[in-house]
Amino acid sequence: MPGFTQTAGSWAAVVTALDHDAPGWEEPLHVEAVEVPEGLDFEATAGALASSAGRGLWVGYSMGGRLALQVALAHRGVVDGLVVVSATAGIADPAERAARRRSDDALARAVEEGGVDRFLDGWLAQPMFASVPADAPGLAERRSIAPGRLAHQLRALGQGAQPPLWERLHELAGLELPVVLVTGAADTRYGAIAAEMARRIPGALRVSVPGGHAVPLEAPAALATEVRASAHRRVGSERSA
């Protein structure tokens, strides 16, 4: 699942890498990049995804990773395993969460008042996205996203709106496939978050790949390798190098 400001098209390079024949693996993968539904709150969005996408290994980046965690906790029957990329389990402190809601609401108003192009220019200029290639999949099509869609995602799916999941992460133990937490090597902030999440999830695997925060755009082949390995891995087993 894609992150904020992204569409399913942002996963094109990862999907292509997964579709290529990979000698040594037992069977091909069925891969589907899904869009995040519109107009629902965080928990209802996860429910809609669980109903439409079906059972399998769930992979999500940033906002999509947070939604994948919610799907796994609230709709466990459709989740065999998780690959959570550059994501968090939410904001635990109520005051910080409220401050984030106010910040996200201000960003939503900026989208509504200034338009998508102006907003994206500022959003993608953040240091965390400095290493994203100029020709990365999905960058151009973001310009056609409706302002209301981005505003809704900020208000309803942002970290300020998400129920914090930290105290429930231990419930992810016992999935058929493991929970894998992936971050870019240069993304020290989310690397630390992933390390803390791994500490709370029994059997979770912590993986670092080249690049920064936007792993599906910066290191699609490396991410595809981890996804494919996760799809063939069972809890308690280890992937050979």
- The answer to whether position 55 is within a domain reads yes
Fill in the DSSP letter of residue 219.
-
C-alpha distances (whole Å) from 110 to each of 27, 142, 161 are 47, 16, 18
Asked whether residue 68 is assigned to any structural domain, the reply reads yes
CA 221 to centroid of chain Cα atoms: 16
Our count of domains for the chain comes to 1
Amino acid of residue 75 = H
In the DSSP assignment, the letter for residue 127 is G
For position 25, which CATH number holds?
3.40.50.1820
Per the model's pLDDT, the better-predicted residue between 50 and 30 turns out to be 50
Place 237 in a pLDDT band, splitting at 50, 70 and 90: very low
| 40, part of any domain | yes
Q: Which helix (H) or strand (E) holds 85?
A: strand 79-85
Residue 28 has what pLDDT?
63
Q: Please indicate, yes or no, if residue 80 is contained in any of the structural domains.
A: yes
pLDDT of residue 239: 39
Domain assignment present for 214: yes
Partners of 182 in the beta sheet?
85, 207
* pLDDT at 240 (0 to 100): 31
* Residues 153-168: tens digit of each pLDDT: 999 999 999 999 999 9
Does residue 139 fall inside a structural domain? no
Largest Cα separation within the chain, whole Å, is: 52
Segments forming the whole domain that contains residue 181: 8-91+164-232
Q: What is the pLDDT of residues 109-148, one digit of tens each?
A: 999 999 999 999 999 999 999 999 888 888 888 888 999 9
C-alpha–C-alpha distance, residues 43 and 92, integer Å = 17
49-75 pLDDT, tens per residue?
A: 999 988 999 999 999 999 999 999 999
Helix residue ranges per DSSP H, the chain: 12-19, 42-53, 63-74, 94-114, 116-124, 147-157, 188-200, 215-218, 220-232
At 78, list the tokens: 């459709």
- The span from the CA of 233 to the CA of 231, in Å, is 6
Residues 188-204 have pLDDT tens digits of 999 999 999 999 999 99
Mean pLDDT score of the chain, rounded to an integer?
Answer: 91
Tell me: the pLDDT tens digits for 183-192?
999 999 999 9
**Does residue 226 belong to any structural domain of this protein?**
yes
Rg (alpha carbons) of the chain, rounded to whole number: 17
pLDDT at residue 81 is higher than 70: yes
Residues 169-189: what's their mean pLDDT? 94
Strand partners, 181: 84, 206
Give me the pLDDT at residue 54, please. Answer: 85
207 within a domain of the structure (yes/no): yes
pLDDT of 27 > 70? The answer is: no
Q: pLDDT value at position 156?
A: 97
DSSP state for residue 138 in the 8-state scheme: T
Determine the pLDDT at residue 34. Answer: 92
Helices 147-157 & 116-124 angle (0-180, nearest 10): 50
Task: Output the pTM of the full model.
Answer: 0.92
